[in-house]
Amino acid sequence: MTLEEALALDAADPLAPCRDRFVQGEGLIYLDGNSLGQLPRATIEATGELVRVAWGEQLIRSWNEGWIDAPARVGAMIAPLIGAEADEVIVADSTSVNLYKLIVAALRQAQQRDPARKVVVSEAGNFPTDLHIAEGAVAAVAGAELRVVERGALADALGADTALLLLTHVHYKTAERFDMAGWTKAAQDAGALVCWDLSHSAGAVGVDLNAAGADLAVGCGYKYLNGGPGAPAFLYVAKRWQDLLHNPLSGWMGHAEPFGFADGYAAAAGMKRWLTGTPSVLGLGALESGLALWDGIDMAQVTAKSAALWDIFHAAGTAAGLECVTPQDPVKRGSHISFRHAHAYEIVQALIARGVIGDFRDPDILRFGLTPLTLSHADIWSAGQMLIEIVESGEYRRPEFAVRNAVT
């Protein structure tokens, strides 16, 4: 593709106006929205007013003027993006904490149905925190165990002892996407529940939890949802499970009457039982502002643009001699693209020095987020040309590019 062709695509792009809704760093091409989404311009004013007025002037009165309802209200904004009902999603804590809640709850419920069901099955190479949390969660349930197998062995790992299948919908390194409906059915046919991690899916690809018959899901707010660093996460529980599953972190905000101040715990109805401690109001406010940008966005257009951006950058990476590890079929991948190279870290640092921000995943993966709301086709074309130049010239071999940062 030529630059002129990329510009022509931009001129016809129905999502092009969305780009102006975000702060754009001068001289930067930001390809890391799959790790931290860009700052929406509206968030600056919204969070400023939240701090200045709601906190600064209204003070504690603001709890009764919107704060206390924010976890459910913001969850309802996420629901359409993941194919859920408004009362099936709530925002709380972090992805890791929410995952712990759901794993323990699923294990306990499964063992009530059948004591033999004690195993959580997951994929080797899953995002590390998912496996780390799963280790801690099974340790909290007597007799439970974690079974981690390669992707190709997942089907055989499901059986009469399986309580929960834990999968990340879009793989954090390769962007490979599971068939949600197919794997949900496989787990349920084996008598198990399934929990999906949507951290690299929500806002990136079309997700329909209810159409797939999913049981549980978690996801973060700081990637494609543009909620800001460390934004609150969300969790989903299908309505059919809401009265049967119980939050193991039984904090006061999940109580049926939190301001009744009873010593004993009585779980709230519906999704509110998945709250634990006092919600992060400032984080919720920023996330709510970021989610407001999705109003009126057509996910079919997002999907189509993601595929077009991918094709442009894939051609550049291939021309540079890099090995693409992301599936070429759009329905089998998310909205980032990854390449393998022995000097992946150095190449990423050389790109960053030129103002193209991607990231590196150990041991040899260059990863680039293709966020349709914030990027143009010309951006991707320009970034691709710089990638080719850096690899072909050997520019990445400069000693300073080999110095490892704490965050890669």
Q: Which residues are annotated as catalytic? A: 127, 197, 222-223, 367
- Kindly state the tokens that stand for 18: 């969305």
DSSP label of 252: G
Residue-wise over 25-59: b if at least 16 C-beta within 10 A, else e?
A: eeeebbbbbbbbbbbbeebeebbeebeeebbeeee
Backbone angles phi, psi at 50, to 5 degrees: -60, -45
| CA gap 197, 208 in Å, rounded | 13
Q: Tell me the β-bridge partners of 149.
A: 123
| CA gap 120, 369 in Å, rounded | 30
CB atoms within 10 A of CB 225: 26
Q: Which of 385, 392, 390 is nearest to 6 (CA)?
A: 385
Residue positions counted in the chain = 408
User: At CA 208, angle to CA 207 and CA 213, rounded to 5?
Assistant: 135
**Three-state DSSP state, 21:** helix
- Kindly state the tokens that stand for 237: 């529980």
| CA gap 128, 182 in Å, rounded | 24
